[in-house]
Amino acid sequence: MPVVKSLRAIGHKGVNAVWRTGYAARFLLLTLLYSGTSFRRFHLTVREIFSSGVMSLIIIVVAGMFVGMVLGLQGYETLKRYGSESALGSLVALSLVRELGPVLAALLFASRAGSAMTAEIGLMKATEQLSAMEMMAVNPIARVVAPRFWAGVISMPLLSALFSAMGVFGGFVVGVVLIGVDEGSFWSQMQSAVDFQHDILNGVIKSVVFGVAVTAISLFEGYDAPPTAEGVSGATTRTVVQSSLAILILDFILTAFMFRGD
Amino acid sequence: MERTTLDLWVGMFVVAGIAALVVLALKVGNLSTYNVSDTYQLQAYFSNIGGLKPQASIKSAGVLVGRVTAITLDTSRYEAKVVMSVDKRYQFPKDTFANILTSGLLGEQYIGLMPGGDEKMLANGEELKKTQSAVMLEDLIGKFIYNKAESSGPAK
């Protein structure tokens, strides 16, 4: 009976999805529970900050610079029509600090560092390194997973701040140095438009949330990957897709709470 | 990689990230002009606040002296009650005039304070008695059209 068969397939998928969600939640909880080691032996976390944060620096800095430059160009072209080129500074800074900085930095981080985390842990599992650790009474979540998690959570806001700062600099280079918008009004309009609590702090909160989401998804996908070459490659793809979607959806939710109304 | 080099790179990364945050806060944001501690509260009633919003600026002679903290409708007199926090450095006489003004034709609305000649100064929590409501552009246009119709006489 094809109807029963398709119903059964739907049921199977549903049960699987619920099971995976629960497993992921349990995994995240265990990571938080066993994260004492990553602070007591902080060099484990430092090593991971190096491989996820420091190695993402170049892509973040270059991307931030160019995004800021494009914002400068496009913003100038649009604002020129209304004769308010002097508002270029506030346009560039607000869009970077509120949205583009946290979101684009998180997307780049997911594809640069998140995929690497998934592949690394997936391969560790496939080559039974994680089981070997368990045999030696070393908790793989405390030794391998938690330091990577905290490294991601620490790196993400720093990367996003760097992205925004580089973007503002890029906007400054294009707007003031190349096009010739008045420098004084560029900075003063920016300062009067950008509020520390409302804009910058909310941007930092966003990037911390994205950091938690991206690293949690990457680590879980790696830990849960089928121990085959195909399984690891599939998990890496899922990491990038799911964390990108998670970033954009979370961004909408956070924006709706932070910037609604006034 | 050796552990000291690793530490060095991570240290540089963290310092650069924090420096970027500080630059954002001071150069891009308004933290350098932000001092929440030294303010005192004033309040004023307006019959119409137009498009005034919380966090709108309060200016005197064009200088930023404070911010609007809260806007509520006082149901005992059906007027808008605007609470503002003004920088302690700036004291205003008791008969200061509070106007809701607009920066530019379509700009943001703010409160302009025009000091009077009273010897006594306003203290924390006191009320600005003399206020002028926001100028509604729609009302003005309406009046203008009405006047035009009046002056051109009855329709033939």
Residue A224: pLDDT above 70?
yes
What is the C-alpha to C-alpha distance for residues A44 and A37, in angstroms, rounded to an integer?
9
What is the C-alpha to C-alpha distance for residues A40 and B113, in angstroms, rounded to an integer?
57
Lowest mean per-residue pLDDT among A109-123, B34-48, B79-93, B107-121: B34-48
Give mean pLDDT, residues B103-119. Answer: 81
> Who among B14, B29, B53 is closest to A200 (CB)?
B29
Q: CB distance B1–A164 less than 8 Å?
A: no
Residue B117: pLDDT above 80?
yes
Residue A148: pLDDT above 90?
yes
Query: Which DSSP state fits B112?
Result: E
What is the pTM for the complete model shown? 0.77
| Contact indicator for A224, A20 with CB cutoff of 8 Å | yes
- Partners of residue B24 in chain A, C-beta under 8 Å: 97, 161, 164-165, 168, 200
Give mean pLDDT, residues B66-75. Answer: 88
What is the C-alpha to C-alpha distance for residues A138 and A44, in angstroms, rounded to an integer?
14
CA atoms within 13 A on the CB side of A11: 6
- Partners of residue B27 in chain A, C-beta under 8 Å: 168, 187, 191
Give the Cβ contact number of residue A22 at 10 Å.
10
pLDDT band at B68 (very low <50, low <70, confident <90, very high): confident
Q: CB distance B23–A165 less than 8 Å?
A: yes
| Contact indicator for A124, A235 with CB cutoff of 8 Å | no
Give mean pLDDT, residues B17-25. Answer: 89
What is the C-alpha to C-alpha distance for residues A170 and A173, in angstroms, rounded to an integer?
5
Give the Cβ contact number of residue A39 at 10 Å.
12
Residue B35: pLDDT above 70?
no
The pLDDT assigned to A162 comes to 95
> Who among B21, B33, B55 is closest to A161 (CB)?
B21
Interface of chain A against chain B, CB under 8 Å?
Answer: 43, 46-47, 49-50, 53-54, 57, 93, 97, 154-155, 157-159, 161-162, 164-166, 168, 187, 190-192, 194-196, 198-200, 204, 262
Distances (CA, A) of A152 to A24, A51, A169, A201, B100: 17, 10, 25, 19, 48
Give mean pLDDT, residues A106-121. Answer: 94
What is the C-alpha to C-alpha distance for residues A200 and A194, in angstroms, rounded to an integer?
8
Residue of chain A whose alpha carbon sits nearest to that of B34: A196
Cβ neighbours for B32, distance < 8 A, ≥ 6 positions apart: A191, B26
- Partners of residue A93 in chain B, C-beta under 8 Å: 28
pLDDT band at A12 (very low <50, low <70, confident <90, very high): very high
What is the C-alpha to C-alpha distance for residues A203 and B146, in angstroms, rounded to an integer?
49
Kindly report, residue by residue over A70-79, the tens digit of the pLDDT.
Answer: 999 999 999 8
| Contact indicator for B132, B99 with CB cutoff of 8 Å | yes
The pLDDT assigned to A150 comes to 94
> Who among A47, A53, A165 is closest to B20 (CB)?
A165
Q: CB distance B53–A262 less than 8 Å?
A: yes
What is the C-alpha to C-alpha distance for residues B57 and B55, in angstroms, rounded to an integer?
6
> Who among A47, A155, A196 is closest to B30 (CB)?
A196
Q: What is the mean pLDDT of chain A?
A: 91
Between residues B31 and A258, the one the model is more confident about = A258
Q: What is the mean pLDDT of chain B?
A: 83
